[in-house]
Chain A
Amino acid sequence: MANPEQRQAIEELVYRSCLALDARDFKGFLALCEEDFQYTITTYSPEIRKDMVWLDHDRKGLDTLLTNLPRHNSDQSPITRHATVYTVDVGDGTATVVSALQVFRTQLDGGASELFAVGHFHDTVKLNGAGPKLAKRVVKLDTRLLGYGYHIPF
């Protein structure tokens, strides 16, 4: 069980990670992550009855991916990540954190917002050092239909 101070710091870490990615502040996002950070997007397909991995990168791979993004033709509609921290379980120097995730996309022309995806963050947070940092993030998506898609990870 996390004490109130730990919980507040961990919640703020999760929310800051959303704000950084929403702002496409990729350096700011990576600054919230440990050097051995691992990022994965998974989902389950009822059609083929299999768990699927849709993205899997270590910190270096994610850094490269995020650096390359501006060089691609991409949808420029901003997306907004809404996370709600559900559970925080503190262990030996780490915490496992489960958050609900909703992602909205807002059209540039007219500004209509639509629900884009739902899922959960399953984060592993290291509690050592100056403050909590993300050691691992698994985005478990419920939504699998993403229209014409999006380049930036959730």
Chain B
Amino acid sequence: MSKNAEQWQARPNFPSTHYVDARIYSDQQVFEEEKEKLFRPAWIIACHESEIPSAFDYRLFTHPAGVPLIAVRGDDNKVRAFYNICPHRGNTLLYDPAGNAKRVTCIFHQWSFDTRGACIDISRAEQGYQDRFCKEDASLREVRCEVGFGGFVWVNVSDDAPPLAEFLGGAMDILAPFLEEPLEVFHFHKAHVRTNFKLWHDTNSEFYHDYLHYFNRITGMMQPGYFERKYTGFPNGHATVGSMQIKYDKYEGSKERAVGWPGLAPGGWFMVDVFPGMTYNLRTSVLRMDAVVPLGPNEVVIEFRGLGLKRDTPKERAERIFDHNMIWGPFGRNLHEDLLAVHGQGRALHAGGDARWILQGREENSTIHDEIGMRHYYAEWARRMGRPPFDPFREGKPEPVRAVA
């Protein structure tokens, strides 16, 4: 029996922790608040240290809060991050997405800066500024930067945020044994999708969409123990999923995976979802990193990286790349299905589309088809946004902001 309008609008018969108002995926005001309250205080992955291996190497990054950033390795080998904004007239300082620059020189009026953020030259300074303004007044805005947890370059644009390790809490402990060796990025691409950034993270926070990848996953789902793996929630909205032995070699077209990953059992798989929009995904021979850069309530760029070991031989690297591409590459069997699904959600959940509730009601003892991963995320969302996702516009009767998933 189908629903009429009133039934469609009615709240689901679940606890309020088990569904969200669909408008949190399309509302402009919610999105603007999310940038300030979720992303600005958070530690965000800008790039990987292997992308800037030498002194003066730099990498540009648009922070999800909207700030254009430069991550640069200084002459002292330390990685720092600055606004990619000239303090003079607001021009972009560096244009290419990556490169090497001993001096950062603005093309507009040739003001120059070193890789520690100090202004080292102002064109015709004395003639124009006399003694009213000098190089010391023109430093770059530095933001906090730490390198860690697999060699990723993390940035935080809030000066008063807690340190990275405190932000992550114990969420990375599950992956720490596998991230001891230096890593190297071999794959990078972006996907620009008309959908809300949270929908991508939702997809990374539940395995119930195994059915989206039915052809890939059916052999896995038939294995003993597949459904016993559990989600574990951590403070600040992070969550992990324990290992399983996946059998992609049973997927026609796969080959036996010989290269593996140090310490990881063959066919092992670990995931760490980092709030508010990054995911570590370690599978068999490849570490994948997803990082969202939201552009609007219904528009997101997702950055995908594939990493292997820095010490890989050419043969080992080629095997990792093959493994990566078969499932996670732009023409791989898995990624397009995930992207197609969130694209479809974006089509249906746009503002004015009358989507009403998004259900997160599955309870299976916190195992992988339980939707607790999403519920854990939205508990943190509620804490930071100061309102419940099931009633983001305070239209219902007053209820306490939920704290427990």
Taking beta carbons and an 8 Å cutoff, which residues of A are in contact with B?
A: 41, 45-50, 52-56, 61, 64-65, 67-68, 71-75, 144-153
- State which of B10-18, B110-118, B232-240, B329-337 sits at the interface with chain A: B329-337
Whether B51 lies near A48 (C-beta < 8 A) is yes
Whether A151 lies near B336 (C-beta < 8 A) is yes
- B-chain residues with CB within 8 Å of residue A149 when the two chains form the complex: 191, 330-331, 335-336, 339-340
- A-chain residues with CB within 8 Å of residue B207 when the two chains form the complex: none
- Chain A, residue nearest B189 (CB): A144
Whether A74 lies near B336 (C-beta < 8 A) is yes
Whether A47 lies near B330 (C-beta < 8 A) is no
- B204-247 with Cβ < 8 A to chain A: 212, 215
Alpha-carbon distance A116/B271, docked complex (angstroms): 32
B73 within 8 A of A: no
Supposing A145-B190, A146-B191, A148-B343 touch, asked if A54 and B98 sit within 8 A by C-beta, the answer is: no
Query: For B253, B335, B342, which residue has the most chain A Cβ atoms within 10 angstroms?
Result: B253
Supposing A52-B186, A56-B322 touch, asked if A65 and B98 sit within 8 A by C-beta, the answer is: no
Alpha-carbon distance A80/B187, docked complex (angstroms): 27
Whether B186 lies near A74 (C-beta < 8 A) is no
Shortest Cβ distance from residue A40 to the other chain B in the assembled complex, whole angstroms: 10
Whether B340 lies near A45 (C-beta < 8 A) is no
Whether B331 lies near A45 (C-beta < 8 A) is no
Shortest Cβ distance from residue A51 to the other chain B in the assembled complex, whole angstroms: 10
Whether B188 lies near A61 (C-beta < 8 A) is no
Whether B331 lies near A54 (C-beta < 8 A) is yes
Alpha-carbon distance A149/B190, docked complex (angstroms): 10
Alpha-carbon distance A148/B188, docked complex (angstroms): 15
Whether B97 lies near A46 (C-beta < 8 A) is yes
- A-chain residues with CB within 8 Å of residue B98 when the two chains form the complex: 46-49
- B-chain residues with CB within 8 Å of residue A146 when the two chains form the complex: 189, 191, 330
Nearest first, the 6 A-B pairs at minimum CB distance are A148-B339, A64-B253, A149-B336, A148-B343, A71-B215, A47-B97
Whether B188 lies near A75 (C-beta < 8 A) is no
- Chain B, residue nearest A75 (CB): B340
- Chain A, residue nearest B212 (CB): A73
Whether B337 lies near A72 (C-beta < 8 A) is yes
Whether B191 lies near A145 (C-beta < 8 A) is yes
In the complex, besides A56-B325, A64-B252, A146-B191, 4 extra interface pairs with C-beta distance below 8 angstroms are A47-B97, A48-B185, A72-B337, A148-B193
